[in-house]
């Protein structure tokens, strides 16, 4: 098997696992407290990755502690972004949460550039500018059809729809900030696996406190079932990051970007198979607008790299 073929397989696995994660969480959080779930999944993540770093990369932990502002920033960002994501995906159609969140990220990166942050990104050519405009249009379109009740699912009234949309946008904004400060930790000598573990302790502390302080899990599931669901959540959260990282080392960015842009369609298809969410042609139209924009941005990024 060639390196390119293996990279394609890894990318497809990433897209399928990440898409399954969104649909699974959207269904699960109708029955299980998202704070308890987040505490279990990400608590185990911290245990695995920080424990590994203490044993095999203690120098990276010392370097992270020497960069306290960036370390605090990624932890605060994780509290906001994961809370917003887990709440949004239980209020809205998962495909819409995913698309609004993902689409907010390049727009945030451009705004950070305009604000003077070195990690922000300018529009380098017309393809990137056009693609970002399509993405912005898709966010507006999906927001409007969700508020009007034309999407496949909203857990409540118009006000619920607005809250879910805002949470998805907050997720995208703060995840972009996590990437910014994660890059600064990487530049200080902290590896990606160590950063992944060290950016979650505050989130685990917050969600654990909320879960313990609540009156109980709003479900009829026993503790063993909840722990089993948390184990599935871990398998749907961490392995996709590994497969994506492997694919990055094997394929051109344009190929990875084009394949990952299909994520909303995969989520949309899985929703139909699951059967909990109604088919919505309006949602499908919004996802199509987003995918056109994402592919244009991918081509624009490659052109800028080649010409630069």
CA 245, chain centre distance (Å): 15
CA atoms within 13 A on the CB side of 249: 5
Report yes or no: 96 and 264 within 8 Å, Cβ to Cβ: no
Q: What is the pLDDT along the chain (308 residues), one digit of tens a residue?
A: 788 888 888 888 988 998 998 888 888 877 788 888 889 888 998 999 999 999 999 999 999 999 999 999 999 999 999 899 989 998 999 999 999 999 998 899 889 889 988 777 788 889 989 999 999 999 999 999 999 999 999 998 999 999 999 999 999 999 889 888 988 998 899 988 898 899 999 999 999 998 887 655 455 567 778 788 888 888 888 788 778 767 766 776 566 766 777 889 899 999 989 888 999 999 999 999 999 998 898 888 777 767 76
Report yes or no: 34 and 283 within 8 Å, Cβ to Cβ: no
Contacts of 199 (CB under 8 A, 6+ apart): 71, 74, 75, 77, 78, 178, 182
pTM attached to this predicted model? 0.87
Beta bridge partners, 92, equal 154
Q: How far is CA 85 from CA 126, 171, 190, 251, 286, in A?
A: 31, 6, 26, 29, 20
Q: What distance separates the 2 farthest-apart alpha carbons in the chain?
A: 59
């Amino acid at each position: 098997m060639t390196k390119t073929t293996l990279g394609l397989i890894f990318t497809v696995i990433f897209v399928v696992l990440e898409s399954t994660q969104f649909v699974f969480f959207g269904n699960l959080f109708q029955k299980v407290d998202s704070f308890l779930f987040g505490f279990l999944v990400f608590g185990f993540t911290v245990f695995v990755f920080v424990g590994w770093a203490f044993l095999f990369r203690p120098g990276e932990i010392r370097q992270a502690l020497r960069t306290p502002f960036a370390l605090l920033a990624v932890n605060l960002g994780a509290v906001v972004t994961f809370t917003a994501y887990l709440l949004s995906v239980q209020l809205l159609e998962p495909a819409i949460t995913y698309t609004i969140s993902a689409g907010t990220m390049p727009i945030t990166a451009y705004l950070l550039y305009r604000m003077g942050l070195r990690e922000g990104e300018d529009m380098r050519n017309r393809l990137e500018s056009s693609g970002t405009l399509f993405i912005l249009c898709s966010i507006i379109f999906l927001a409007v059809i969700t508020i009007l009740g034309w999407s496949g699912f909203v857990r409540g009234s118009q006000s619920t729809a607005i809250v879910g949309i805002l949470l998805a946008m907050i997720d995208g904004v703060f995840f972009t900030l996590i990437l910014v400060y994660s890059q600064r930790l990487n530049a200080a000598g902290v590896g990606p696996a160590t950063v992944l573990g060290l950016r979650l302790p505050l989130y685990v502390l917050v969600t654990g406190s909320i879960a313990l302080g609540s009156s109980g899990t709003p479900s009829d599931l026993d503790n063993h079932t909840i722990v089993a669901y948390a184990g599935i959540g871990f398998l749907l959260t961490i392995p996709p990051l590994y497969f994506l990282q492997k694919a990055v080392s094997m394929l051109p960015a344009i190929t990875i970007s084009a394949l990952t842009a299909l994520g909303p369609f995969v989520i949309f298809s899985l929703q139909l198979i699951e059967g909990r969410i109604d088919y919505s042609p309006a949602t499908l139209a919004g996802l199509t607008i987003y995918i056109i924009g994402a592919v244009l941005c991918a081509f624009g990024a490659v052109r800028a790299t080649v010409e630069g």
